[in-house]
């Protein structure tokens, strides 16, 4: 992905000068999964394990000023900013040409360690997420190291796919989809809520594919091998793959994001079609 020296987004809120201090020793309890396995599951299954990783003290985080960012942190911030700018350009075009309306972009919050959001603490145990409460995306760029080193999703476009996926949740919010589905989920059984969550996530993957296609056609930032990196990332973060990595037998009723095959399929569908209407995950039986 060609991103160096390109325009970044103004919709970045950088909190990385604030970091967490203190905290107890890591305690896993009897027969735990292990630190890496727990964090892997937490990143993608929506489980906030911050208290466990704090040693279960129950106390809130202590925030201190950490000083200057490293060169790598600065570079990662620039990368996210450029990627976010590309999503803004693409979705502004889609909303105007396909929907006849304006796109109101999300703000992306960069943080290190832990920060606050209306949806609860954002931390290394929650992973990147979109919060409808303030329409912001929360991302600790250290996650990209986990994505590459622990999960095997290497390459800058794998990281760009993560950003595009969270932006896609904002697109769903803008379209009124996210709010309606969350209302239904709140009144559903756990299994039904999980099934709806899968459809939301797969649609976000499809929207991410639309972004990749239009970024390739309109911006020219896509290089050979980039799409393969995104498809590999989709496979590496499927619920079934992550559950196996954590030493568990995959349980489809517990899936909240979709299987590896489903995530790949819906990303490819968005990429090949480039059309929102092809991303209706709610009216199909075959995900």
pLDDT, tens only, 62-108: 334 456 788 888 888 888 999 999 999 999 999 999 999 999 999 99
The stretch 47-56 carries a mean pLDDT of: 37
Place 217 in a pLDDT band, splitting at 50, 70 and 90.
confident
Cα–Cα distances in angstroms (integers) from residue 23 to residues 16, 50, 51, 53, 59, in the given order: 18, 10, 10, 9, 9
Portion of the chain with pLDDT greater than 90, in percent? 49
* pLDDT for res 149: 85
- What's the CA angle centered on 16, arms 11 and 18, to 5 degrees? 125
pLDDT at 186 over 60: yes
Instruction: Identify which of 44-53, 70-79, 275-284 has the greatest average pLDDT.
Output: 275-284
- What's the CA angle centered on 43, arms 38 and 49, to 5 degrees? 55
Note the pTM of the prediction, 2 decimals: 0.83
* pLDDT for res 155: 85
Closest of 209, 233, 227 to residue 144, by C-alpha: 233
Question: Do 238 and 267 touch, CB atoms closer than 8 A?
Answer: no
Residue 181 parent element (H or E): helix 177-186
Beta strands 107-110 and 136-139 are: parallel
Place 164 in a pLDDT band, splitting at 50, 70 and 90.
very high
* pLDDT for res 89: 94
């Amino acid at each position: 992905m060609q991103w160096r020296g390109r325009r970044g987004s103004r919709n970045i809120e950088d909190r990385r000068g604030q970091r967490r201090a203190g905290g107890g020793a890591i305690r896993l309890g009897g027969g735990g999964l292990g630190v890496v396995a727990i964090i892997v599951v937490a990143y993608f299954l929506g489980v906030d394990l911050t208290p466990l990783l704090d040693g279960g003290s129950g106390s809130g985080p202590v925030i201190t000023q950490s000083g200057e960012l490293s060169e790598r942190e600065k570079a990662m911030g620039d990368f996210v900013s450029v990627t976010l700018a590309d999503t803004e350009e693409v979705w502004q075009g889609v909303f105007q040409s396909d929907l006849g309306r304006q796109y109101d972009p999300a703000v992306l919050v960069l943080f290190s360690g832990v920060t606050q959001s209306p949806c609860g603490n954002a931390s290394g145990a929650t992973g990147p997420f979109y919060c409808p409460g303030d329409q912001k995306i929360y991302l600790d760029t250290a996650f990209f190291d986990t994505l590459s080193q622990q999960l095997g999703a290497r390459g800058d476009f794998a990281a760009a796919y993560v950003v595009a996926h969270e932006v896609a949740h904002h697109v769903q919010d803008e379209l009124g989809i996210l709010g309606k589905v969350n209302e239904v989920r709140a009144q559903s059984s756990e299994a039904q809520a999980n099934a709806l969550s899968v459809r939301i996530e797969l649609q976000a993957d499809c929207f991410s594919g639309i972004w990749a296609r239009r970024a390739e056609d309109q911006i020219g930032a896509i290089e050979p091998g980039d799409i393969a990196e995104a498809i590999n990332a989709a496979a590496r973060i499927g619920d079934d793959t992550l559950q196996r990595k954590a030493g568990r037998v995959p349980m489809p009723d517990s899936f909240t994001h979709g299987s590896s095959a489903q995530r790949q399929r819906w990303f490819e569908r968005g990429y090949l079609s480039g059309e929102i209407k092809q991303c209706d995950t709610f009216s199909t039986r075959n995900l």
